[in-house]
């Protein structure tokens, strides 16, 4: 009797307040087919609704993070079919996920894989990581934000150099351009991602959500509107019990305790 194939995406819970969304198609370089992106979307919805999850780590099994959309699946897809299902070749739900996301990236993060990390908040890359948008080499283009988020992250000149040529950049270059947050030895990647996630999860969760939303707005609204959003968020935090605890702890010279889930 043949055992069922493991799910290509799983959700792990190892430490308090942190969930790990794990891509698990290593033999296919974690290519993003429809089954993968649908599962990612469902897991992200569950994480958003769960108050015991404050931070998500996005990581992948195997040598590579994600080599992009599954070309075998896309090869026979027509434009009409793609429009009918609003196909993007990636998990677009990640872009609207409200809670902080830490990505742990090893090996290749190409096409849709690069779009995934462009949606994350803290991106920790192994020294062997490589990033790129090779869609043009396949006669197509990004469909989940690559032409929009990449220029906002690395600037138009660097983005168009990657998008129009399909060339890859290494982890050191990605760090220099602002595509990733940190670069670490491959052996330390997961530990560093978990350390970063735990640090964020120990902070007041409603404030981290407000902070993420406000900072993300900086790429989309005029400065005056962004400043108004920031001021409104700041004023909102003053009514939170987490602010009371944080300032009391500072004045009393003790560590703040944000371990209780907000009511």
> Per residue in 71-128, pLDDT tens?
988 888 899 998 998 988 999 999 999 999 999 999 999 999 999 999 999 999 999 9
CB of 45 within 8 A of CB of 90?
no
The residue annotated as part of the active site, out of 135, 158, 196, 201, is: 135
Question: What pLDDT, on a 0 to 100 scale, did the predictor assign at position 69?
Answer: 87
Establish whether 245 is a catalytic residue: no
pLDDT tens-digit readout, 21-73: 999 999 999 999 999 999 999 999 999 999 999 999 999 999 999 998 889 88
Question: What pLDDT, on a 0 to 100 scale, did the predictor assign at position 1?
Answer: 46
Q: Is a pLDDT exceeding 90 seen at residue 260?
A: no
Task: Please tell me the pTM assigned to this model.
Answer: 0.94
pLDDT tens-digit readout, 170-211: 999 999 999 999 999 999 999 999 999 999 999 999 999 999
At 193, which helix (H) or strand (E)?
helix 189-201
| Spatial CA neighbour of 71 closest among 38, 113, 123 | 113
SS3 call for 140? coil
Establish whether 118 is a catalytic residue: no
Question: What pLDDT, on a 0 to 100 scale, did the predictor assign at position 3?
Answer: 52
CB of 105 within 8 A of CB of 63?
no
Establish whether 135 is a catalytic residue: yes
SS3 call for 217? helix
Q: For the chain, where do the domains classified as CATH 3.90.226.10 start and end?
A: 9-201
Question: What are 7's two structure tokens?
Answer: 């799910």
SS3 call for 69? strand
**DSSP letter string, 81-126:** HHHHTT--SS-GGGGG--S-EEEEE-SEEETHHHHHHHH-SEEEEE
The residue annotated as part of the active site, out of 31, 67, 95, 115, is: 115
Establish whether 146 is a catalytic residue: no
Please name the residues in contact with 159: beta carbons below 8 A apart, sequence gap of 6 or more.
Answer: 147, 150, 151, 153
Question: What pLDDT, on a 0 to 100 scale, did the predictor assign at position 237?
Answer: 96
Q: For the chain, where do the domains classified as CATH 1.10.12 start and end?
A: 205-251
Query: Binning pLDDT at 50, 70 and 90, where does residue 6 land?
Result: confident
User: What superfamily would CATH give domain 9-201?
Assistant: 2-enoyl-CoA Hydratase; Chain A, domain 1 (3.90.226.10)
Phi first, then psi: give them for residue 82, nearest 5 degrees. -65, -40
The residue annotated as part of the active site, out of 107, 111, 112, 146, is: 112
The residue annotated as part of the active site, out of 19, 60, 66, 69, is: 69
Question: What pLDDT, on a 0 to 100 scale, did the predictor assign at position 263?
Answer: 58
Question: What pLDDT, on a 0 to 100 scale, did the predictor assign at position 92?
Answer: 96
Q: Which CATH number fits domain 205-251: 1.10.12, 1.10.10, 1.20.1420, 3.30.300?
A: 1.10.12
Q: Is a pLDDT exceeding 60 seen at residue 148?
A: yes
User: Cβ atoms within 10 A of the Cβ of 224, count?
Assistant: 8
């Amino acid at each position: 009797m043949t055992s069922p194939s493991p799910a290509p995406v799983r959700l792990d819970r190892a430490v308090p307040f942190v969930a790990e969304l794990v891509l698990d198609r290593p033999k296919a370089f974690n290519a993003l087919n429809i089954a993968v992106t649908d599962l990612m979307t469902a897991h992200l919805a569950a994480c958003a609704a769960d108050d015991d999850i404050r931070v998500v780590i996005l990581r992948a099994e195997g040598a590579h993070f994600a080599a992009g959309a599954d070309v075998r699946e896309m090869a026979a897809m027509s434009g009409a079919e793609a429009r009918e299902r609003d196909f993007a070749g990636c998990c677009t739900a990640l872009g609207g996920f409200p809670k902080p996301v830490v990505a742990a990236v090893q090996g290749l993060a190409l096409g849709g894989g690069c779009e995934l990390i462009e949606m994350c908040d803290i991106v920790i890359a192994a020294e062997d990581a490589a990033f790129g948008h090779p869609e043009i080499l396949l006669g197509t283009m990004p469909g989940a934000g690559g032409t929009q988020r990449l220029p906002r992250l690395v600037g138009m000149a660097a983005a168009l150099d990657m998008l129009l040529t399909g060339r890859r950049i290494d982890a050191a270059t990605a760090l220099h351009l602002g595509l990733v947050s940190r670069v670490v030895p491959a052996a330390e990647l997961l530990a560093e991602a978990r350390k970063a996630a735990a640090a964020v999860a120990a902070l007041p969760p409603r404030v981290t959500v407000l902070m993420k939303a406000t900072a993300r707005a900086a790429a989309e609204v005029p400065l005056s509107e962004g400043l108004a959003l920031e001021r409104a968020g700041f004023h909102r935090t003053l009514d939170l019990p987490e602010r009371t605890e944080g300032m009391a702890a500072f004045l009393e010279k003790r560590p703040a305790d944000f371990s209780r889930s907000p009511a």
